[in-house]
Structure formats: C-alpha cells, structure tokens
C-alpha cells in the first residue's frame, strides 16, 4: 500500500422490508446515543520496527480504529515469514492500545473458491486471531469488483467464504466481528442481494457477518458526499438506502441480522478525496498524476492558509456517516499519501509526514462525534431527526 520513503519522518513527527424500516427508523430518532467509529486505512505499521510515533499520531487524531491489510495467496494456511513480520509489527499497535481491523486478501486469481482454499484462508485468519487479540476481520476486499474478486466466482462463492470464516472464527472467539466488503461501483446492491439469495439456498441457520462493509467512494473528488446517483450500479454515501434495500431483500426473514438490528451495522471501510500535490511537496512524489479531478491544495487568503477542499469534503462525509443510523464506522483512505501519483493522494499527511489542512479538520470532526455534539438536522443529506 505504501512504501518506506517518508515514513521515518512520520515516526519523528429498492424498498426496505418492514422489519428493516422499523429498526432503522427507531435508530434514527436518537443518533446522539450512537458513537460512530472513525478510523483510517493505514498499512504504515507493517514497515516500522517500532510504532511509537505512529501510535502518537493515531492518538492525536482520536482514532477509534485502524484498518491494516495483509496479503494472501492460495495454498497458504499460516503466515509466511514476511507476513509473520508484518503481523508482529501490527501486534505492536494492539499492545499500544489501538483497535485494529484486519483485512486479508489477494489478487482475483488468488481468490479462495474451493472448499480447500476456503479452509486455508479462514485457517490463516484463525491462526492470526489465536495469537493477536484482534476482534474485527474483513473477509477479502470489494468482492463485487473484478479488481479483487473473479466475476466468474460471483456472490455464491463469496457467501460460502463468509460462512466458512464465520464458523471458524466464532468457534475460536464468539465475539469476533466478521465483516464483508463491497465497492461503490460494480453494482454492490445486486451483489449483496445475490449473496442473500445464496444464503437462503444454502439453508444456513447461522449468520455470515456481524457487519456489512462498504467502500462508498465518490465518482470524483469534488462530488458532494450526499449526492444520489441515477446509476443503480453505484452506491455512494447518498445512496445508502439502495444498499440497505438490497440487503433487506436478500436476508430478511433469515438468521442473518439486518443493519439496524442489534450490533449489526454497515461500516464504510474506505472513502477518500484525492488532493493535488503542491509544488513545495512535489519532490516527495513520483510519476504523473492520473486523476484529472484531484482537489486543489491549500490557498492563501489574507496571509492565512484556508482549508483545502479535501478538508471540507472529508468533514461532510464523516458527519453524514455519523447521522446515518445504519452506519457504524467510517475509515478515511488513508493516513499518508502514496508516493506514486498514479496511486492515492487522499491521506491526512503529505508524503513527507507533514499535516495537510485536512488533518486538523478531520481531528476536530472526530472530537465532535466523540462528544456527541453533531446536529444532524444541519448536516447535508442526513435523514431528518425532527419529530
């Protein structure tokens, strides 16, 4: 996800079912009683021998969780030497008091599609959880996207993987949080409806997830987070009801709880707004920007630096998530920009480890949510809480 350069500097510094509607409506009347988990996606710890500086940054931001990813390939049921090193370093975050969400996945060709492969993959996760007290595990990544999951395998194979891992991990730790993953595009609603159909057909009488994970990226960086898309194959933050309706269609009346029932929610596992790199920081990056819609950097107004558009976009996105009663978490992708301009520059830190203007805005928003002081009636796109 991220290279080593600059990291040392960081160390130093459709319609819902009636059941679903009732659960969600009742939750929406008192959003202040629910505290959104706000975190970042950050693999930095994998590259560091000691996480002290990193933990200090997490604490300064007030993060509730950090998602870290580990690679996996077929035939592996135990961590390799390099994966073991990564996990040893991740364990340092847990020891330091940081909640870690673990995501394990590989390329589409490596997707676990047979019973043996599913047993290996879920056994890999169990091996990790036996040694590190991690309670939140994401099963693969964006399973509706051909970038990560083979289209030929589809929803049925993913449902089998979820079921296998749920049984294996709950046998080890009853309170584990098993999380699915879908992307904003490639019809996540249709995919989750199909996962529900596969679940019904299987005759299963136990859940497959505690949390429905989703990555609600906008179509472009300046797109308002609350926008509703005409394309039914897209689910951004503003299209949440579309995803909830599909989950309700797929799973209502089964043993799989719906978002808004008990501890089950939707987690926004990745979202982010890319920024243009200013001339003063260009030496820390490589290549040529491939996204024509990146947001402008900070500008000067009367001698005072204004917040970049990224700060405003991110603040609106997090506040909206905090006011959507079915949402349990929001993760910004990522903490620090990627070096390659063909990658993602949606971090809270420039590549040299210094703060973007969005850093303080994000920090202030996290504090506002933690204090329970968000007025949802004033948040763009939020469901009304007025009687």
Q: Which residues pair with 39 in a beta bridge?
A: 65, 331
pLDDT, tens digit, 9 for 90 and up, residues 81-114: 999 999 999 999 999 999 999 999 999 999 999 9
Domain boundaries defined on the chain: 7-378
**pLDDT score recorded for residue 293:** 87
Is residue 164 scored above 60 in pLDDT?
A: yes
**pLDDT score recorded for residue 358:** 95
DSSP class of residue 183 equals E
DSSP class of residue 222 equals T
pLDDT, tens digit, 9 for 90 and up, residues 223-258: 999 999 999 999 999 999 999 999 999 999 999 999
Is residue 281 scored above 50 in pLDDT?
A: yes
Q: How confident is the model at residue 162 (pLDDT cuts 50, 70, 90)?
A: very high
- The residues, ordered by sequence, that sit 6+ positions from 214 with a Cβ below 8 Å of its Cβ are 181, 182, 183, 184, 188, 235, 243, 266, 267, 268, 269
**Rounded mean pLDDT of 172-196?**
98
Q: Does residue 21 or residue 259 have the better pLDDT?
A: 259
Total-model pTM: 0.90
**Tell me: domain 7-378, CATH 2.60.40.10, correct?**
no
């Amino acid at each position: 996800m991220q290279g080593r350069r600059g990291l040392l500097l960081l160390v130093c510094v459709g319609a819902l079912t009636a059941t679903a509607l009732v659960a969600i409506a009742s939750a929406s009347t008192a959003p202040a009683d629910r505290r959104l988990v706000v975190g970042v996606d950050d693999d930095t710890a994998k590259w560091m021998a000691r996480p002290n500086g990193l933990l200090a940054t997490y604490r300064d931001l007030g993060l509730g969780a950090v998602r870290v990813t580990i690679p996996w390939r077929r035939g592996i049921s135990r961590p390799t030497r390099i994966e073991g090193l990564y996990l040893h370093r991740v364990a340092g975050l847990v020891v330091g008091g940081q909640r870690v969400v673990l995501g394990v996945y590989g390329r589409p060709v490596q997707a676990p599609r047979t019973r043996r492969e599913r047993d290996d993959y879920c056994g890999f996760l169990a091996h990790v959880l036996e040694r590190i007290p991690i309670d939140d595990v994401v099963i693969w990544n964006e399973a509706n996207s051909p970038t990560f999951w083979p289209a030929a395998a589809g929803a049925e194979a993913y449902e089998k993987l979820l079921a296998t891992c749920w049984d294996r991990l709950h046998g080890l730790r009853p309170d584990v949080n098993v999380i699915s993953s879908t992307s904003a595009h490639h019809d996540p609603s249709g995919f989750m409806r199909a996962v529900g159909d596969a679940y019904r057909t299987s005759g299963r009488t136990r859940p497959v997830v505690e949390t429905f994970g989703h990555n609600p990226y906008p179509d472009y960086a300046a797109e308002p987070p609350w926008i509703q898309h005409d394309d039914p194959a897209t689910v951004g933050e503003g299209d949440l009801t579309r995803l909830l309706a599909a989950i309700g269609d797929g799973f209502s009346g089964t043993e799989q709880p719906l978002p808004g029932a008990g501890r089950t929610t939707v987690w926004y596992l990745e979202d982010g707004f890319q920024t243009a790199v200013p001339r003063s920081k260009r030496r820390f990056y490589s290549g040529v920007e491939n996204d024509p819609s990146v947001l402008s950097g900070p500008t000067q107004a009367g001698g005072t630096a204004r917040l970049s558009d990224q700060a405003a976009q991110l603040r609106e996105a997090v506040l909206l998530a905090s006011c959507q009663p079915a949402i349990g978490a929001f993760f910004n992708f990522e903490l620090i920009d990627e070096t390659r301009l063909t990658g993602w520059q949606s971090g809270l830190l420039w590549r040299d480890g210094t703060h973007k203007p969005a850093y303080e805005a994000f920090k202030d928003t996290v504090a506002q949510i933690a204090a329970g002081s968000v007025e949802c009636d004033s948040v763009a796109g939020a469901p009304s809480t007025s009687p």
